[in-house]
C-alpha cells in the first residue's frame, strides 16, 4: 500500500520518510481543521487565524505520529531489531522492521511503547493548554494544544485495540506467544482478530455512508480495508518465514542462468536477449568471472539513441551487497534484501564466479505450492 517514500531527514539514526499519500492527508487534515473543527470550537476568529490553527494542528499531528513510531523504533533498537526507517502515510505511520522481535517480551515492550508515548504526549499537550489559559495566551494557541491532547489520547486508545497489526494486536500476539511458545499460532490468532476488526470498521463505514456521512463512512471503510489487508499480509509474511527460514538460497536458485558478455552493445542486449527471453536482468560474465549485471534498470539509465554505442560493460551495475548473495545466504534474508532494494532477481556468486540466480517469482511460486499442499494438510 506504500511506495518507497520520500526521505525528509534522519533522526536518532532512523530515516524519516513520507509517502506521497501523506500529502493528501496533510491537505485534508489542515482543511477540515481550518474550516470545520476549530471554527466550531472557537467561534468568531478571523479566517486567517483558523488556517494558521489548521496548519499548526496538522504539523502537531505529524510530530505526534512521528513520536509514536520513534518510540517503537528506539525500543526495537534496544532489542537488536533492525529498523530500516519510519514512513508516514495516509493511515498514520509505520516503523519498518527488517525482522521479527526475538522474544515475546521484546514484542510486548516494543508494541506498548507507542500507546504510552501517545498518552504522554496527550498529557503534555493538556498541561500546555492549561498553562496557556493561566498565562492568558491567545485562545487559538490554547485550542490547538487542547486538540492535540485529544487526538493523541485517541491515537493511544485506538492502537490498544487487540487487532493485528495495531499495537494492541502485537501485544495480544506477544501474550499468546509467551503463553504457548508458538509464534505462528499466536500470529494467526492476532491476525484473525485484526481481520475481524477491519470487517467491523468496514461495516461501520457502510452504516455511515447509508446515513449520509460520506466522509466519515469512506474513512472508516478505507481504514478497515487497510487493517484487513495488513493483517493478512502479516500472516503471509510469517508463513513465508516458516517456509524458508534456515534454508540457503542454493536450494531455490536457477543453477544455469542466461548470461551476457560485457562487450556487446545495449542494443544487442535488448534485441537479442531481453526481447527473446523476456528476462529483466542478466548476469554479465567474462572468462568465467562474474562482473556485474545488466537489465531494465541499467538500460533505462542510458538514452535510447546511445544504445548502439554503449557497451553492456560500461552500463552494467557492479556486483555489490544489494544484487549479489552467497549460496549459503538464508532465503529469508534474500527475500528481505529483495524487498529493501526492489530487486526481483539476485545473483548467487562464490569466489567471484556465478553459481546461480534466485528470483522473486520462483520463490513466490514455491510459497504458493507449499501453502496449497501444507495448508490443506
* CA angle (167, 30, 74) in 5-degree steps: 30
- Other CB atoms within 10 Å distance of the CB of residue 10: 10
**Contact between residue 337 and residue 325 where contact means Cβ atoms under 8 Å apart:** yes
The catalytic position among 69, 96, 107, 298 is 69
Q: Which of 223, 231, 257, 251 is nearest to 92 (CA)?
A: 223
Assess whether 69 carries a catalytic annotation. Answer: yes
Q: What is the enclosing helix (H) or strand (E) of 158? A: helix 139-159
Q: Indicate left, alpha or beta for 3 from its phi (over 0: left) and psi (-120 to 50: alpha).
A: beta
* Coil, strand or helix at 233: helix
Question: Where in the chain does DSSP place strands (E)?
Answer: 6-11, 14-18, 83-89, 92-97, 281-286, 289-295, 317-318, 324-325, 345-350, 353-359
CA dihedral 42, 117, 223, 57 (to 10 degrees): 30
CB 33 within 8 A of CB 62: no
Grid cell, residue 254, equals 536457477
CA distances from 198 to 64, 213, 239 (A): 24, 19, 21
Query: Are 216 and 187 in contact, with CB atoms under 8 Å apart?
Result: no
Q: Three-state DSSP class for 365?
A: helix
Q: Rounded to an integer, what distance in angstroms lies between the CA atom of residue 116 and that of residue 121? A: 9
DSSP-derived 3-state class of residue 46: coil
Residue pair 239/367 in contact by the 8 Å Cβ criterion = yes
What residues are annotated to the active site? 69
Amino acid at each position: 500500500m506504500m511506495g518507497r517514500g520520500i526521505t525528509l531527514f534522519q533522526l536518532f539514526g532512523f530515516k524519516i520518510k513520507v509517502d506521497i499519500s501523506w500529502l493528501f492527508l496533510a491537505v485534508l487534515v489542515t482543511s477540515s481543521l481550518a474550516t470545520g473543527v476549530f471554527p466550531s470550537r472557537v467561534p468568531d476568529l478571523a479566517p486567517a487565524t483558523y488556517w494558521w490553527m489548521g496548519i499548526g494542528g496538522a504539523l502537531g499531528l505529524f510530530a505526534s505520529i512521528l513520536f509514536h513510531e520513534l518510540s517503537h523504533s528506539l525500543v526495537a533498537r534496544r532489542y537488536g531489531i533492525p529498523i530500516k526507517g519510519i514512513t508516514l502515510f495516509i493511515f498514520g505511520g509505520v516503523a519498518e522492521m527488517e525482522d521479527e522481535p526475538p522474544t515475546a517480551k521484546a514484542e510486548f515492550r516494543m508494541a506498548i511503547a507507542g500507546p504510552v508515548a501517545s498518552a504522554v504526549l496527550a498529557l503534555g499537550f493538556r498541561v500546555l493548554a492549561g498553562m496557556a489559559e493561566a498565562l492568558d495566551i491567545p485562545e487559538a494557541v490554547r485550542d490547538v494544544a487542547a486538540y492535540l491532547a485529544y487526538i493523541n489520547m485517541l491515537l493511544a486508545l485506538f492502537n490498544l485495540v487487540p487487532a493485528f497489526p495495531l499495537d494492541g494486536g502485537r501485544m495480544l500476539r506477544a501474550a499468546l506467544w509467551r503463553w504457548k511458545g508458538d509464534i505462528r499460532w499466536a500470529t494467526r490468532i492476532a491476525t484473525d482478530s485484526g481481520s475481524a476488526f477491519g470487517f467491523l470498521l468496514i461495516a461501520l463505514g457502510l452504516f455511515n455512508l447509508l446515513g449520509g456521512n460520506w466522509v466519515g463512512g469512506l474513512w472508516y471503510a478505507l481504514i478497515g480495508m487497510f487493517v484487513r489487508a495488513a493483517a493478512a499480509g502479516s500472516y503471509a509474511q510469517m508463513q513465508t518465514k516458516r517456509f524458508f527460514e534456515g534454508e540457503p538460497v542454493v536450494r531455490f536458485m536457477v543453477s544455469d542462468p542466461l548470461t551476457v558478455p560485457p562487450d556487446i552493445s545495449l542494443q544487442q542486449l535488448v534485441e537479442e536477449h531481453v526481447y527473446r527471453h523476456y528476462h529483466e536482468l542478466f548476469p554479465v560474465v567474462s572468462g568465467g568471472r562474474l562482473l556485474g549485471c545488466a537489465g531494465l534498470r541499467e538500460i533505462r539509465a542510458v538514452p535510447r539513441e546511445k544504445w548502439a554505442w554503449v557497451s553492456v560493460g560500461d552500463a552494467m551495475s557492479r556486483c555489490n551487497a544489494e544484487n549479489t548473495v552467497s549460496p549459503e545466504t538464508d532465503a529469508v534474508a534474500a527475500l528481505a534484501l529483495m524487498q529493501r532494494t526492489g530487486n526481483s532477481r539476485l545473483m548467487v556468486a562464490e569466489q567471484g564466479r556465478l553459481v546461480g540466480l534466485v528470483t522473486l517469482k520462483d520463490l513466490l511460486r514455491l510459497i504458493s505450492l507449499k501453502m496449497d499442499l501444507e495448508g490443506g494438510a
